[in-house]
Amino acid sequence: MAKKNAKKTNNSNTIALNRKAKHEYFLEDKTEAGIELQGWEVKSIRDGRVNLSDAYVIIQNNEAYLLGAKIQPLNSASTHVVADPDRTRKLLLNRREIDRLIGARDRQGYSIVATAMYWKKCWVKVEIYLAKGKQSHDKRSDIKDKDWSRQKERLMKHSN
């Protein structure tokens, strides 16, 4: 009897998360954007070689670009091209969405932060948020709230 080659399948559509963003910013307005990728990048994304921890969005010439996202190249897939893991990638947004992001960034002082990368059907999408930076006392109060909610859950679990 031949053994079947069992591959790990990831049922989740999430490719990468930026967990640091929730700690560093107040996330307010979510937008979904497509991303312009090269072939070797898609292969690396399928292998899970993405890091969004320092990713943010800039807008130049009425176009949105993703900076700080690192996609490490596969050795087997990128032998014939010069692969730059830190390259600037164009985001695919409607004009109205870009105008809304520009207005919030310029008038209200928001930052634009990438928080997640995921598959939607066969396309790679990036979840971006308009975000305000947190002060250190805001971060401390968030940590206290999380600790208290954890303690409440433990108390409720043991009381049943």
What does the domain layout of the chain look like in residue ranges? 14-134
**Residue whose tokens read 């292969």:** 43
| pLDDT digit string, tens, across residues 105-157 | 888 888 899 999 999 998 999 999 998 887 777 778 878 888 888 888 888 88
Determine the pLDDT at residue 77.
63
Which of 36, 33, 34 is CA-nearest to residue 89? 36
Which CATH superfamily, name and number, covers 14-134?
A: Small protein B (2.40.280.10)
